[in-house]
Amino acid sequence: ADTSIVTSTPFYFQGAWFLCPPVSPRGLEQVESFEVRDDDVFVSAFKKSGTTWTQQIVSLVTSGSNFNEVSKIPVYKRVPYMERMDLSGGPDAPPIISLLKDRPSPRLMKTHLPYKMLPRQAREGKGKIVYCTRNPKDVVVSVHNMSLMHDLHHPSPWEETLDNFISQPPQNSWWNVIPEYWSHRDDGNLLFIKYEDMKKDLRGHVVKIAEFLGRNLTAEQIDEVTANCTFTAMKENPATNMSRDPLMQEKLFKRGKEKGIEFVRKGKVGDWRNWFSPQQLEKFEAFHKEKMAGIDLTFEDEE
């Protein structure tokens, strides 16, 4: 596996392991060689791009809209972050994926990995990948707010988050990762969706995802899934809003609680307008245009 994504060493900080990015070379090797089943579903997204939203839709769809059952287990356990090392175990902890071997089907997994680092068998067409993407200006704003509210992130000034986002190492850069997934949009086992389109037509996307996953849901079930995946529903649900989950609140989101920032935060298209200065916007747009030259992928950036 290409381990260049491992850019920092985990360290112990204020009683917790600080893992950023939370992957290990060993974990990546286990991802690469993971034995994929035909009915495995990978929910993949760049961070802060609608991952949790997509996890919840996929989870409800595959359960046949069994909201009561699905709500018993928080989304981060139902659709676990496969390449992440188990947070409780320190730097030698096994990656979550090693715990999934014996899970009954259908196994649902979340990943933030670039396409080329997905399990080899998934890249060869086995299992299904639902990829969710979002306009990068709202992504960086969401990343920034996450850094302000998550106890394991270093809160940094907006200017710094923005600079870091633009100058990420190539293997982590939005402008490398997203075009690579985009180039696979016509693969039979990959569904490419955009956050902004989901905002416009949530029900339509529930239908699309159900069809892609080969699930026959009645119109009523589709309505139910849609109702349980709106922004308000997910913000109020402690199984999807990690900062309202009592355990996670204690473990990871104390700072967010103090600051009044929640994990399911604002859910808007165009919140970037509240953050970018005209100069920052000009610089960002120029960079984006240069990087996306010749790539036929555009994003709406207002509602």
Count of residues touching ligand A3P (by CB under 6 A): 20
Within residues 162-201, the interface with ligand A3P by CB under 6 A covers none
Q: Can you tell me which of 45, 79, 129, 252 binds ligand A3P, judged by CB under 6 A?
A: 45
Q: Look at residues 45, 48, 184 and name the one whose alpha carbon lies nearest to residue 122.
A: 184
Q: Look at residues 188, 211, 35, 40 and name the one whose alpha carbon lies nearest to residue 127.
A: 40
Q: Which stretch binds ligand A3P (CB under 6 A): 113-121, 230-238, 244-252, 284-292?
A: 230-238
* Euclidean distance between CA atoms 240 and 242, whole angstroms: 6
User: Order of strands, edge to edge, in the sheet holding 128-133?
Assistant: 108-111, 41-45, 128-133, 190-194
Q: Can you tell me which of 17, 42, 53, 192 binds ligand A3P, judged by CB under 6 A?
A: 53
- Is residue 271 at the binding interface for ligand A3P, with CB under 6 A as the rule? yes
Q: Which stretch binds ligand A3P (CB under 6 A): 90-98, 166-174, 185-193, 258-266?
A: 258-266
Q: Which stretch binds ligand A3P (CB under 6 A): 19-27, 28-36, 70-78, 259-267?
A: 259-267
- Is residue 137 at the binding interface for ligand A3P, with CB under 6 A as the rule? no
* Euclidean distance between CA atoms 243 and 265, whole angstroms: 10
Q: Can you tell me which of 50, 80, 95, 136 binds ligand A3P, judged by CB under 6 A?
A: 50
Q: Can you tell me which of 24, 41, 44, 48 binds ligand A3P, judged by CB under 6 A?
A: 48
- Is residue 111 at the binding interface for ligand A3P, with CB under 6 A as the rule? no
Q: Give 124's contacts (C-beta < 8 A, 6+ positions apart).
A: none
Q: How many CB atoms lie within 10 A of CB 236?
A: 12
- Is residue 145 at the binding interface for ligand A3P, with CB under 6 A as the rule? yes
Q: Can you tell me which of 109, 191, 264, 299 binds ligand A3P, judged by CB under 6 A?
A: 264
Q: Can you tell me which of 24, 30, 44, 51 binds ligand A3P, judged by CB under 6 A?
A: 51
User: 61, exposed or middle or buried, with CB in 10 Å at 0-12, 13-18, 19+?
Assistant: buried
- Kindly provide the residue ranges of all beta strands, DSSP E only, lying in the chain, ordered along the sequence: 11-13, 16-18, 41-45, 108-111, 128-133, 190-194
Q: Which stretch binds ligand A3P (CB under 6 A): 24-32, 86-94, 207-215, 228-236?
A: 228-236
Q: Catalytic residue at 112? A: yes
Residue 95, SS3? strand
Q: Closest distance between ligand A3P and the C-beta of residue 172, in Å? A: 15
Handedness of CA 69, 73, 76, 78 (dihedral sign): negative
Q: Which residues are catalytic?
A: 112
Residues that bind ligand A3P (CB under 6 A): 45, 47-53, 138, 142, 145, 229-231, 234, 264-267, 271
